[in-house]
Amino acid sequence: MNKKISTAVAIGVILLITAIVGTTIWLKQSDSSQEVQNTMPLPIAKQDTKRNEVATEKQPIDQKTNSNNTENISEAMKNRFSGKGCYSKESDGTDNLYELSKDFNLSSPTAKVTYSNQAKGISFDIPYNTNWGNKNCKVEPYIEFTQPGGDVLVEFGKPRAWIRSEFLLTVSDYRSAQDIVNEQKNVGGEPDPNPRKMTLGDKQLVAYESYGMTSERIYEVIGKKFNYSFSYSEAEKLNGKTAKELATIIQSAKIE
């Protein structure tokens, strides 16, 4: 009889302990679940998400973040053309930078504008026509900017699409005529740049060619502190008439 009572008591104790443990575990799980619910972020409505995406797409792009923010580079990015009627249009309405508009005036120069740079010791008359362009596109007589290395570039002459100008002047550090010839002879490749010493008026220079996407004729005038490279480019064969026009400009230039 005592054994039966002892066994019943033992079973009751075990059941009581099991119930207490089960209840404790259930309470902890409930607290943990509630805590997770309290820490979860609130859901974002789909409508708000779409509005945020649209707002991001319409934000203007800061152009300065796409450059090195140097003054020289900003100068180089200036355009000789200004206005919205300079170029022909693509089918999507954007400018075709390889073709000027059909009504773009490209008649011969009718005037001269003097370019002068005392710091670089040069001045010369630039051919110009105030009617170049059209009513929606203005063409400046020339554009000047400085490269990061210090060279000065001046674009001038009859306007062109893409490269913008018929002629280019590059003012760089002095080097002798023989230095230029030696450098060009070592360029290699075909065709030969054919460096040759020349005289135009009172100016000593070296003429040579450069070949890449276009054919380029360069007349590098030897100065005292600087050299002055006058050049022009053609898509295929170099134009003798253009060469004579540039030679005339070089002869009339004043170099200190």
Task: Give me the CATH number covering residue 209.
Answer: 3.40.1000.10
Average pLDDT over residues 10-25: 50
CA angle 115, 119, 121 (to 5 degrees): 65
Token pair listed for 131: 């009617």
Give, in order, the Cα–Cα distances in Å from 114 to each of 87, 204, 220, 231.
27, 22, 20, 18
- Reply yes or no on whether the pLDDT at 22 is more than 90: no
Token pair listed for 156: 């001038």
| Residue 237 domain flag | yes
Structure confidence by residue, pLDDT tens digits, 208-237:
999 888 889 999 999 999 999 999 998 778
Number of structural domains (the chain) is 1
pLDDT band at 6 (very low <50, low <70, confident <90, very high): low
| Residue 50 domain flag | no
Q: Residue 172 — φ and ψ, nearest 5°? A: -130, 180
| Residue 158 domain flag | yes
Among 26-35, 114-123, 144-153, 239-248, the minimum mean pLDDT is found in 26-35
- Domain around 115: 76-255
| Residue 245 domain flag | yes
Overall pTM > 0.85: no
Among 78-87, 97-106, 115-124, the minimum mean pLDDT is found in 78-87
Which range of 50-59, 65-74, 212-221, 229-238 scores highest in mean pLDDT? It is: 212-221
